[in-house]
C-alpha cells in the first residue's frame, strides 16, 4: 500500500463540478484581480472566523507583511515570534526592516511559551506574533495579557489553523489581526496562491486594503506607496466553494488524529501530539516525535508512507538568519522538536485502512515488534 502525505486529488474530486461552475462564473465576468468574487469570499471568511472583516491578499506571507506595515512596524523595531515556524513569519518581520526576536516554545503544544516573553522584551519591542503551529492555537490569554501590559500589538500567524479554536474563539480573532495562508495544501487551500488578514479594526482593514492595491482607495488616486498583493478572482471563487466544507474536513482530520493516537497509545517510542484543554486543534499537520528521526523517515518512505519534517532547522539556525546572532542551544525546546518531529499522512479523505497501515509501519520502523 502507498499512503501519500496529502491527497488533494481525493479532496477535490467530489467538488469538481462546483469548481467548474465557480471558475466559469469568474471567466464570464472577467473579474480576475480583486473584484466581486474576492469581496464575497472576504465576507464569507469573516463570518466563518466570527470576525468583523477579512481582507484577501496574495498569500500568507503578504498577509503577515502587510499587517506589520499597516501597524507601522518598521526600522529599529523588534517583533517577538517563535523559531519553530515556516520562514515566512520571520521574513515578513525582516521585510518591514524590523528585527525578529525569538522565544522558545512549550514542549507539549509546540507553540509560543508565554513565560519566555519577558526575557525577549526591550524598549524596541512593538509586536508579538504567536504561531498556531500545526493547527493548534498558542495559549493566547497570557500572551494578550503580556502585550496589553507592555503596549504591544498581537498578530496571530494562523496560516495553519483555519477553524482552530482557543477557548471557543476562532484562531486569528484573538489579537489585533490574524493572518491566513490559502496555499493549496492548507486546511483551506486555493488552486494557487492566496491569503487573508482578519481583524475587527476598521482602520487596520482600510490600511491593508490600500497597501495591497498600490496605496489606492480609488483607481489611479494613490494616497500612499503600496504594493500589488491582491487576491485573484479565481482563487476567491474556489475558496468560497471549499469554505463550505471546511468545518467537516477539520472534523475528519480530528477523527484521524484520534485514530492515530489510539493506535500509538502505550508505545513509549512514539510521542503523539497533545491537544491543550483550551484548544480545538485542526491538525493541519499530525506530527509525532521519535528518536533517530531521519532513519524513521527513510524507512517509512521505503514502505510507501508519505511523511515530512516540519521543520528540520529552526529559523534562528537558518543561514538566512545568521546576522541575528543566535547560536545552537538558544532555544532547546524548539531545537529538540526539530530533531524529533515526523509528520504523518493527514488529510480528510484518509481511510481507516490507510491509518492502520501507516500506524503499523511506524510501529515497525521504531522497532515495536508486538504491535497488533
Ligand X SMILES: Cc1ncc(COP(=O)(O)O)c(C=O)c1O
As measured in angstroms, the least distance from the Cβ of 88 to ligand X is 4
Task: Name 179's bridge partners.
Answer: 157, 197
Is 86 near ligand X (CB under 6 A)? yes
277-296 binders of ligand X (CB under 6 A): none
As measured in angstroms, the least distance from the Cβ of 189 to ligand X is 9
Is 159 near ligand X (CB under 6 A)? yes
Angle between helices 233-243 and 16-29 (to 10 degrees): 150
Is 207 near ligand X (CB under 6 A)? no
89-108 binders of ligand X (CB under 6 A): 89
Is 82 near ligand X (CB under 6 A)? no
Options 9-17, 83-91, 207-215, 217-225: segment touching ligand X (CB under 6 A): 83-91
Q: Is the Cβ of residue 71 or residue 88 nearer to ligand X in the bound state?
A: 88
Q: Is the Cβ of residue 284 or residue 366 nearer to ligand X in the bound state?
A: 284
Is 163 near ligand X (CB under 6 A)? no
Q: Is the Cβ of residue 37 or residue 110 nearer to ligand X in the bound state?
A: 110
C-alpha grid cell, residue 219: 483607481
Is 341 near ligand X (CB under 6 A)? no
Angle between helices 36-49 and 16-29 (to 10 degrees): 130
| Residue closest to 288 by CA, chosen among 336, 364, 345, 340 | 340
How far, CA to CA in Å, does 27 sit from each of 20, 31, 64?
11, 7, 30
| Residue closest to 272 by CA, chosen among 292, 283, 287 | 287
DSSP string, 34-47: SSHHHHHHHHHHHH
Q: Is the Cβ of residue 89 or residue 343 nearer to ligand X in the bound state?
A: 89
Is 317 near ligand X (CB under 6 A)? no
Member of 85, 173, 250, 272 binding ligand X (CB under 6 A): 85
Q: CA angle, 56 as apex, 51 and 59 as ends, to 5°?
A: 120
Q: Strand 195-199 vs strand 165-166: parallel, antiparallel, or unpaired? A: unpaired
| Residue closest to 232 by CA, chosen among 206, 183, 198, 193 | 193
165-204 binders of ligand X (CB under 6 A): 181, 183, 195
As measured in angstroms, the least distance from the Cβ of 65 to ligand X is 9
* Cell 482530520, residue located: 253
As measured in angstroms, the least distance from the Cβ of 59 to ligand X is 4
C-alpha span between 80 and 130 (Å, rounded): 8
Is 235 near ligand X (CB under 6 A)? no
50-79 binders of ligand X (CB under 6 A): 59-61
Q: Is the Cβ of residue 51 or residue 61 nearer to ligand X in the bound state?
A: 61
C-alpha span between 23 and 28 (Å, rounded): 9
Structural contact between residues 289 and 337, judged by C-beta atoms closer than 8 angstroms: yes
Binding site for ligand X (CB under 6 A): 59-61, 85-86, 88-89, 131, 157, 159-160, 181, 183, 195
Amino acid at each position: 500500500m502507498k499512503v501519500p502525505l496529502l491527497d488533494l486529488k481525493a479532496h477535490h474530486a467530489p467538488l469538481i463540478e462546483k469548481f467548474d461552475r465557480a471558475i466559469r462564473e469568474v471567466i464570464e465576468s472577467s473579474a480576475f484581480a480583486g473584484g466581486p468574487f474576492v469581496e464575497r469570499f472576504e465576507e464569507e471568511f469573516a463570518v466563518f472566523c466570527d470576525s468583523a472583516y477579512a481582507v484577501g491578499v496574495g498569500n500568507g506571507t503578504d498577509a503577515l507583511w502587510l499587517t506589520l506595515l499597516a501597524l507601522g512596524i518598521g526600522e529599529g523595531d523588534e517583533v517577538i515570534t517563535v523559531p519553530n515556524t515556516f520562514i515566512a513569519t520571520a521574513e515578513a518581520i525582516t521585510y518591514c526592516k524590523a528585527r525578529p526576536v525569538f522565544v522558545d516554545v512549550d514542549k507539549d503544544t509546540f507553540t509560543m511559551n508565554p513565560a519566555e516573553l519577558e526575557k525577549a522584551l526591550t524598549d524596541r519591542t512593538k509586536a508579538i506574533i504567536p504561531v498556531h503551529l500545526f493547527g493548534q492555537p498558542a495559549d493566547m490569554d497570557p500572551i494578550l495579557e503580556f502585550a496589553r501590559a507592555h503596549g504591544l500589538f498581537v498578530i496571530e500567524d494562523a496560516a495553519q489553523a483555519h477553524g482552530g479554536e482557543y477557548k471557543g474563539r476562532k484562531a486569528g480573532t484573538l489579537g489585533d489581526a490574524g493572518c491566513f495562508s490559502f496555499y493549496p495544501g492548507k486546511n483551506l487551500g486555493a488552486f494557487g496562491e492566496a491569503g487573508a488578514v482578519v481583524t475587527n479594526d476598521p482602520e487596520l482593514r482600510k490600511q491593508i486594503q490600500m497597501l495591497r492595491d498600490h496605496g489606492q482607495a480609488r483607481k489611479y488616486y494613490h494616497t500612499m506607496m503600496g504594493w500589488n498583493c491582491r487576491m485573484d478572482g479565481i482563487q476567491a471563487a474556489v475558496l468560497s466553494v471549499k469554505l463550505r466544507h471546511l468545518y467537516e474536513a477539520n472534523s475528519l482530520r480530528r477523527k484521524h488524529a484520534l485514530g492515530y493516537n489510539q493506535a500509538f497509545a502505550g508505545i513509549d517510542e512514539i510521542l503523539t501530539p497533545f491537544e491543550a484543554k483550551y484548544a480545538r486543534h485542526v491538525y493541519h499537520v499530525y506530527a509525532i516525535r521519535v528518536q533517530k528521526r531521519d532513519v524513521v523517515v527513510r524507512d517509512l518512505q521505503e514502505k510507501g508512507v508519505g511523511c515530512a519534517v516540519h521543520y528540520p532547522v529552526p529559523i534562528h539556525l537558518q543561514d538566512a538568519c545568521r546576522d541575528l546572532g543566535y547560536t545552537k542551544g538558544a532555544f532547546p525546546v524548539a531545537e529538540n522538536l526539530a530533531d524529533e518531529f515526523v509528520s504523518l499522512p493527514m488529510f480528510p479523505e484518509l481511510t481507516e485502512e490507510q491509518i492502520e497501515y501507516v500506524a503499523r509501519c511506524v510501529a515497525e520502523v521504531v522497532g515495536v515488534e508486538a504491535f497488533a
